[in-house]
Amino acid sequence: MYFDHKIFKLNVDMKNREEILNFLSEEFLRQGMVTREFAKAITEREKTYPTGLQVGDVGIALPHADRCFVKESQIGIATLKTPVDFCEMGTEDVPVKVSIVVMLALHDADEHIEILQKLIELFQNEKFVSGLGASRTEQDVVKILKEFNL
């Protein structure tokens, strides 16, 4: 359900946080999952409420925007060729070098909390994180998602 549109962008070359947020947002928009305002909303939200997490040696970001910008629930994943700076969740100025971005476009408030909790729990699993980071094809991503019941 959350991965029906297979928004998986692997080993992409991005210069900064804004570039990866716009890149993924445009893919969500192209596939009709979000409104035109989604990209601006997600970028602004990331500035105010950072989503970077340091999980062992891997930096992960969970950018998301308010549900009013979402037409259909979807989760997109990007792995980055070179990590980019995000701020650590709960701070305004602690940088995290992020190499995995999991963008959430969730329409229902209840599912939003449920999915965030599940993802944060999964990010504590080294096998999940390393498998996602090592994925080179869409099939690799699907395999790791299925293995962990997503």
Residue 66 lies in a domain: yes
In a domain, 133, yes or no: yes
Domain count, the chain: 1
Prediction pTM value = 0.92
In a domain, 149, yes or no: no
Phi, psi (degrees; rounded to nearest 5) at 82? -130, 130
Nearest to 61 by CA among 52, 48, 50: 52
Can you give the pLDDT at residue 1? 58
Which range of residues forms the domain containing residue 17? Answer: 7-141
- CA distances from residue 23 to 18, 146, 148 in whole angstroms, order as listed: 8, 25, 26
What type of residue is 107? H
110 has pLDDT over 80: no
pLDDT recorded at residue 114:
85
User: Does residue 148 lie in a domain region?
Assistant: no
Quick check: is 1 in a domain? no
Which tens digit of pLDDT belongs to each residue from 51-74?
Answer: 999 988 899 999 999 999 999 999
Let me know if residue 137 belongs to a domain. Answer: yes
- Sheet of 7-12: strand order equals 7-12, 74-87, 95-105, 58-61, 52-55
The three-class DSSP label of residue 134 is helix
Mean pLDDT for all residues in the chain: 92
In a domain, 132, yes or no: yes
106-142 per-residue burial string, b: 16 or more CB within 10 A, e: under 16: bbeeeebeebbeebeebbeeeebbebbbebeeeeebe
Give the CATH number for residue 48.
Answer: 3.40.930.10
Q: With bands split at pLDDT 50, 70 and 90, how would you rate the model's confidence at 148?
A: confident
Residue 89 covered by a domain: yes
